[in-house]
Structure 1
Amino acid sequence: MPIRELDELDREILHRLQAEARGTSSTDVAASLDVSASTVRNRIQRLEADGVLRGYHADVDYESAGYQLFTLIVCTAPIPEREALAAAAADVPGVVEVQEVMKGESNVLVRAVGEDGDDLTRIGEDLDELGLHVSDEDLIRATHRSPYAGFDVDDDE
C-alpha cells in the first residue's frame, strides 16, 4: 500500500525524472505546470523521503567504456533466502544490478560486467559460493529504457 496517493504534480515530476533526470530542472517542471520551482523541489524532497524516488543512476554504455562483456546471469535461490542472497550478490565485484523475481526457478537476475571470460567465470563462482544456482548466462547487446507512461500527466487528458 502506498504511503500516500500521488497527485498530478508528483506523477509529472517522476515521469520527467525517469525520462532524463540530469537534464530536468525544477524550473522546467514548474513552468510547464504553473507552480513555483520551490514547490517542485519540495515535492522531490518529499518523494525521496517517502521512498518513492530512490535515486538517480547513470546509464553506462559498458562497451563504449571498454567492457565488452555485459552479462545477464540467471540464478535460482531458495525462496526463503532470495532477498538475502540477492542483496549479497550485489556486493560481488563486477555485479552492477540484481533483481528479485517472484517465481520459484530463475528468481534472481544478476547483471554483471567483466573484462574477460575469466572475470565472468569468477563472478559466477562467487555467486555459486553465496548459494545461488547459476542456470543461464547471456551477453547483453543493448538496454532500452523509457519512463512509465502512467506518470505522464499529458497522456491523461
Structure 2
Amino acid sequence: MPTLELDHLDKQILYRLQQDARRTSSNDISETLDVSASTVRNRTRRLEANGILRGYHADVDYEAAGYQLFTLIVCTAPIPERENLAEAAADVPGVVEVLEVMTGEGNVLVQAVGADGDDLSRIGEELDDLGLRVSDEDLIRNTHRRPYARFERADGA
C-alpha cells in the first residue's frame, strides 16, 4: 500500500487524538485548528482508511484493576516464523500486546498481565509451546506514553 502523504493538518489531528482520543471530538479539534468539524471528520476517516490511524485504545491501569503483575516477556522467534508466532502469541490468554522487533535475538516482545506468579508461568509455558524461546521476563512498574511531538510542530521538523 502506498504511503499517504501527511500534511500539517493531518499531523495536527493525529497529535490531538494521541493526546486524548476519548475526550477529543472533531469539534474540539476543529476549534483549535481553525477548520470545520466536517474537515476533521473527513481527514480522520481518510487516515483510518489508509491504515495510519489504526484504532483508539484504552490505557488500563492493571494494578488498579486487580492484576498485580504486568510483565514484559522477551522472546526469540526464528525470523521466517516471527510474524506468525507473534500473531499466535497475541491469542494467549493474559497477553495484552505483542511487538515484533527487527533483531535476531529478543525479536518478539510480549506484554502480559497476571493475577499471580502461576498466571505468568502459564503464559510463559504457552509461549514456549508455540515455539517462542523466552529469554527474559521483567515486571513493568509504569508505562509513560506521549504523543509524537513532530505531529505538533508547525514546521513539521
**Same fold by TM (over 0.5)?**
yes
Aligned-pair distance for 1:8?
Answer: 0.9
Aligned-pair distance for 1:153?
Answer: 3.6
Instruction: Tell whether the 8 Å contact from 1:149 to 1:155 is kept in structure 2 after alignment.
Output: no
CA–CA distance in 1 between the matches of 2:2 and 2:36? 26
CA–CA distance in 1 between the matches of 2:52 and 2:147? 15
Instruction: Tell whether the 8 Å contact from 2:8 to 2:156 is kept in structure 1 after alignment.
Output: no
Following TM superposition, where does structure 1 have runs of at least 4 consecutive aligned residues deviating by more than 3 angstroms? 153-157
- Residues 51-98 of structure 1: CA distance to partner in whole angstroms, max 9, x if unpaired? 000000000000011110000000000001000000000000000000
Report the 3-state secondary structure (helix = DSSP H, G, I; strand = E; otherwise coil) of the residue aligned with 1:3.
coil
Aligned-pair distance for 1:155?
Answer: 6.6
Question: Which residue is equivalent to 1:43?
Answer: 43
Structure 2 residue runs of 5 or longer lacking an equivalent are none
Question: Which residue is equivalent to 1:93?
Answer: 93
Report the 3-state secondary structure (helix = DSSP H, G, I; strand = E; otherwise coil) of the residue aligned with 1:118.
helix
| TM-score normalized with structure 1 length | 0.96
1:110 aligns with 2:110: yes
Aligned-pair distance for 1:3?
Answer: 2.4
Question: CA 1:2–1:153 in structure 2 vs 1: closer, same or farther (change >3 Å)?
Answer: farther
Question: Which residue is equivalent to 1:63?
Answer: 63
Question: Which residue is equivalent to 1:131?
Answer: 131
Instruction: Tell whether the 8 Å contact from 1:94 to 1:114 is kept in structure 2 after alignment.
Output: yes
| TM-score normalized with structure 2 length | 0.96
Give the length in aligned residue pairs. Answer: 157
Report the residue type matching 1:112 in the other structure: A
Cα RMSD of the aligned pairs, angstroms, is: 1.4
Q: Could you tell me the percent identity over the aligned residues?
A: 76
Instruction: Tell whether the 8 Å contact from 1:92 to 1:126 is kept in structure 2 after alignment.
Output: yes
Instruction: Map 1:78-89 to 2 at 5 A.
Output: 78-89=78-89
Structure 1 residue runs of 5 or longer lacking an equivalent are none
When structure 1 is superposed on structure 2, of 30-39 and 55-64 the one drifting more is: 30-39
